[in-house]
A and B are shown apart, each in its own frame.
Chain A
Amino acid sequence: MKIFANTRTRQFEYELKQENGNGFLFKDDQPVDAQFVALGNGRYSLIKDNQSYIINVSKKDDTYSVRVAGEHFDVKVEDERTRQVKALVNAASTVQGEKTIKAPIPGLVVKILAQEGENIKAENGLLILEAMKMENIIKAPFDCEVLKFEVSEKDTVTQNQVLLRIKGL
């Protein structure tokens, strides 16, 4: 089975072969020489080709946050099958005309600037999101009608959380 690991800018492809409950990883048809030993608390000692690394892993949703040698990577791991299923789901879910505005950063909703049902011109403010002392105005991407706010003032939101739904005019 093929396994894909994607960082922000790169993709690495491995092949996992199984035999009697044992797995063997291959990359470019070569067996991967890697010992991966858990040390607890999401820490691992990885010895690959006799090179030793200390690695910290934490998982959020479907993303692995991996720290190695001071560098930090968000890695998404997918096998062939999940990749195909995802592609089908994505193709079916796009609704015409409606758009959700998501939080570009985690933050606090300080003020809502528009009302449901109101028409807002492009580049005008929809709401103000504050994070760590900085205020960010979330603006209308195009002329639109505000359908529904999914958050209220003083709410805390995570990155990519849906803030409101709009419809293009």
Chain B
Amino acid sequence: MFTKILIANRGEIALRIIRTCNEMGIKSVAVYSDVDRKSPFVYSAFEAYPLGGKTSQESYLNWQKIIDIAKKCGAEAIHPGYGFMSENADFAEAVEKAGLVFIGPKADSIRIMGNKTAARKLMIKNNVPTVPGTEDAITDHAAAQKIAREIGYPVLVKAAAGGGGKGMRLVKEDKDFVQSVESAAREAKAAFNDEAVYIEKFVEEPRHIEFQILADAFGNVVHLGERECSVQRRHQKVIEEAPSSLLDNKLRTRMGEAAVNAAKACKYQNAGTIEFLVDKNKNFYFLEMNTRLQVEHPVTELVTGIDLVEEQLYIASGSALRIKDSFNSFNGHAFECRLYAEDAENNWVPSPGIIEYLNAAKGPGVREDSGVTKGSEISLYYDPMISKLCVWAADRHHALNRMLRALREYEISGIKTSIPFLIKVFEHKDFRAGNFTTKFIEEHQSELLGEDKALAEIASLAAILAQIEEQKKIKVISGNSHNNTISSNWKTTHRIRQLRT
């Protein structure tokens, strides 16, 4: 096992990795930009070295400098976290060339899975289902129709040179095919001077379900079950859970086998994730592989009891997998909410600033992976995610209620966060019933935004009282401060709503 590793990342994930290092007796080395000098990951690390600069380019992407620091301080390995250089094959190669270990897959695996076309071809060759469609563009309409019939309707006709929805048609039935393909070709010809089209299966009511895998250098691969990440906004995951409310054991076994095959196909090593789309008929299709530790890995840890960073370190140091069997059953249910510094009610604008007060949710079944603390400044230089709030409970219903409780309990001021929006998602009946797709936020936008009237009134009263107190001229005496009368009905009703289970 390593005695010292460098973490080429920042924020919550750097701190997450430091914690496992501390538990294992491994010395952790942080590197940091000027902006991050006061961040918890810097002062929690065993050693810390400045990278200088403010932007990512000047700091966390300056890989030559990072490798130099690693060599000078005597680190044996580099953990890239997620984002930044985690899926940069050239970096992985440079680390190995410098005589250090890259805690992640080999450069070749990163390279092939990072290329959409190459990855798709590799998956088809290894019997991992992909979204059915034509490999090459076609101009022969009769041949195209034959392919559409083979794939099965509905299909998407896409202009080969296309983009921005131009030359794209959704065809639901065979009788509409010829007309649709002709008009798509005409539009493509007019827009791009190229009438060639692709035919692709249209994935109906898609859900995003991914499988966590672990693989060692000896060809052993296991999966640790799935995470569902269908609640997304502009392709950014917002909420993740494990297990998925959609899968039964039969489908889980089939998808798990496909995930293991995908990892074997690219000779994968270390922790990785195979992302699938699942349609309304429970057909599943390979989407892509993330060749790194995922943001949402804690939900898997909560339902399997495995520390994924610890397993990564064992694998990278040359050990065989310590987990021998794939997981087809789990302990309870877990959710993760990504807390972003943004204001959903104001068109999702970023909300930088100083965290004036922070009192995170605590209590039974709550785990928080946060990169900030009271006094932290949220800058504009990096990702707006400040923390990941996770809950665990015996089943999905209790986990839903626990997350609602934790979100309401979470006190933060000075910046705005996505918490009010998340509360509305966890209150939404379709989300609670497990009835949602990747379009959930888009479809329910209006129900997921807006002010709660009763709470707006409380907030208004608080603002008035705060202002009067600030002016220090008068002392406000409560109207009935010695009166113990029972509250009126509507207040009680509101109160119950607030605590609804």
Contact = CB atoms under 8 A, between A and B. Distances in A.
B431 to A, nearest CB: 16
A5 B483 contact: no
Contact of B488 (A49, A56, A58): A49
B325 interface: no
A32 B462 CA distance: 12
A71 B423 contact: yes
A23 B468 CA distance: 9
B463 A66 contact: yes
Contacts of A149: none
B310 interface: no
Given A7-B451, A70-B407, A51 B491 contact: yes
Interface string A66-82: 11111111010100000
B477 A51 contact: no
Contacts of A66: 459-460, 462-463, 466
B461 interface: yes
Contact of A58 (B414, B458, B484): B414
Contacts of B407: 70
Interface in A107-152: 107-108, 130-133
Contacts of B345: 8, 72
B461 A32 contact: yes
Interface in A10-54: 10, 12, 14, 16, 18, 21-26, 30-36, 38, 41-44, 46, 48-51, 53-54
Given A57-B463, A57-B466, A106-B350, A23 B477 contact: yes
Interface stretch (B111-119, B253-261, B378-386): B378-386
A68 B457 CA distance: 11
A42 B473 CA distance: 19
A46 B411 contact: no
A65 interface: yes
From A3, A9, A30, A105, name the one whose CB has the most chain B CB atoms within 10 angstroms.
A105
A159 interface: yes
B459 A24 contact: no
B419 A70 contact: yes
Contacts of B463: 5, 57, 64, 66, 73, 75, 77
A132 B385 CA distance: 9
Interface string B475-489: 111111101101110
Nearest to A76: B463
Contact of A105 (B349, B468, B481, B495): B349
B479 A22 contact: no
B345 to A, nearest CB: 6
Contacts of A64: 462-463, 466-467
A55 interface: yes
Contacts of B414: 58, 65
A132 B451 contact: no
B355 to A, nearest CB: 10
B218 interface: no
A133 B341 CA distance: 13
Nearest to B356: A58
Contacts of A57: 413, 462-463, 466
Given A8-B451, A33-B481, A58-B357, A25 B464 contact: yes
Contacts of A8: 345, 451
Given A46-B461, A50-B487, A71-B455, A56 B412 contact: yes
Contact of B474 (A9, A18, A58): A18
Contacts of B481: 33, 35
B487 A51 contact: yes
Main secondary structure, interface of A, reads: strand
A16 B468 contact: yes
B469 A56 contact: no
A23 B479 CA distance: 10
B460 A54 contact: no
Contacts of A21: 473-475
A53 B465 CA distance: 14
A10 B483 CA distance: 30
A156 B479 CA distance: 47
A41 B475 contact: no
B50 interface: no
Nearest to A20: B474
Contacts of B460: 5-7, 10, 12, 66, 73, 75
Nearest to A65: B413
B332 interface: no
Given A31-B479, A34-B465, A72 B416 contact: yes
From A6, A9, A25, A156, name the one whose CB has the most chain B CB atoms within 10 angstroms.
A25
Interface string B381-418: 11110000000000000000000000111111110110
Contacts of B356: 41-42, 58
Contacts of B359: 43
A65 B417 CA distance: 12
B297 to A, nearest CB: 21
A10 B453 contact: yes
B461 A12 contact: yes
A55 B381 CA distance: 30
Contacts of A50: 484, 486-487
Closest 5 CB pairs of A and B: A31-B479, A5-B460, A75-B463, A73-B459, A70-B408
14 contacts: A6-B460, A8-B345, A22-B476, A23-B468, A32-B479, A36-B466, A38-B469, A44-B466, A49-B487, A50-B486, A58-B356, A70-B407, A75-B462, A156-B380
